Amino acid sequence: MTSSSVLAEDGSKERTNLPEPVVINTVLFESVGKPPTASVDFGSVQPGHPNNFVVKLTNGLQRRISYSRIDSTCACQSFSPTKGSVAPGKILELAFSLNIPSHPRGQLQYGVAELMMASGQPAGRIEFKYSFPTYIGFKTDMLLAEHSESEKVVRVPISLNLGESVDVSNHQFLIDGIQIKRQLVAKNGFIEFAPQDLNAAHRRLDIQLVKSTDETSEPIDELSLVISRKNEIEISPKVVRLSLDGARKRLVGSCFIKAAASREMPSVAASFQLGQRSTTLKCSKLSKSIGKISFSLPPMNFGKYTGRSVVAQLHAVAGDNVIEQKIWIVFPRFNVPKESFQ
């Protein structure tokens, strides 16, 4: 069962110039919770044409391994011979062929080949991985970005996966099929567009990374970009942790309100609603552009929330800006008689 006999079956001229298969040695060992397992790293492979290997699998078990078929994770992967056996301490030579699309999704790939017995039970398994030296693609499938109406250009950073040797000169970004200004720098890039091109406060865009030639543009990868409009006034943090002020017998906590671009913070009024209860909050000015929203709540009114994290609606008015924002309120554990809040 040698690789040369397997590869010699096809005598066509197209295969005569293929490089010799790469030989890789591995050992099949007992594995906890799964069949006897061997690990193989095929290293960098080239997409778009066959990659051939010979896996020399040493049986490291104290028993003979016999199999009647090999199941793999992808039709682009094939092992042969598809049936055979190997005694303890002996070597089984398997020819592995990998023929993947020109533009794979993901830089590092993992796969599994199961050596199956006639009974349908696995006799052993080969776990393998490989990577692509010329791969380019997005690191995520979704991005969130904000813009303000005053911005003339919105720049959205994009993280890319690049292989060891990638020429990005003929790659571009498309939004809804329209080319947009972009730069690809090292392993990161960004796209730019004008806010006036967006006709809604909240919009989802589909971005494609394409490879362009003189004749065609071929999509390689895509992601979704959700754009929302910045508020001139921002509230943070989104989680307010209350503590029990024993001296005053109040639940206290705070969050902050900030004017964007260091503008003058107007007077602020705020309240929050939890269930059917709406409570006015105290607001104070800390600096020119930053204010503080203080929570000071009687425990008896909120005793049923002791030790819980709940979502409340925060309502704030700062000049002409109205902010509605959901926040998490984390209540401490405190003892309140049931009759005081029923």
Q: Cα(292)–Cα(272) distance, rounded to whole angstroms?
A: 14
pLDDT greater than 50 at residue 220: yes
Q: Is the pLDDT of residue 40 over 80?
A: yes
- The pLDDT > 90 percentage for the chain reads 27
The pLDDT of residue 177 is 59
Report the distance separating Cα 61 and Cα 233, nearest Å.
Answer: 67
Whether the pLDDT of residue 182 is over 60: the answer is no
Preceding peptide of 50 cis, ω within 30°: no
225, containing H or E segment? strand 217-229
What is the average pLDDT across 43-62?
89
**Residue 295's Cα: distance from chain center in Å?**
36
* Cut 0.75: pTM above it: no
Return d(Cα 257, Cα 266) in angstroms, integer. 11
Mean pLDDT of the chain: 79
Give residue 11's pLDDT band: very low, low, confident or very high (50, 70, 90): very low
The residues near 329 (Cβ < 8 Å, ≥ 6 apart) are 240, 242, 253, 272, 274, 295, 305, 309, 310, 311, 312
Per residue in 286-340, pLDDT (tens digit) is 888 888 999 999 888 888 888 888 988 888 888 777 888 888 999 998 776 555 4
Parallel/antiparallel/unpaired status of strands 202-212 and 171-175: antiparallel
β-pair partners for 312:
327
CB within 8 A of 272, min separation 6: which ones?
Answer: 278, 279, 281, 295, 312, 313, 314, 315, 327, 329
Query: Which pLDDT score, from 0 to 100, does residue 18 have?
Result: 58
Query: pLDDT tens digit string along 135-164?
Result: 778 878 788 777 776 777 777 887 777 766
Pairing outcome for strands 84-86 and 69-72? unpaired
CA–CA distance from 100 to each of 49, 52, 76, 96 (Å)? Answer: 7, 12, 6, 13
Distance CA 123, CA 112 (A): 13
Instruction: Verify cis geometry, omega within 30 degrees of 0, for the bond prior to 122.
Output: no
Q: What element of type H or E holds 7?
A: helix 3-7
Task: Quote the CA–CA distance of 331 and 303 in Å, as a whole number.
Answer: 9
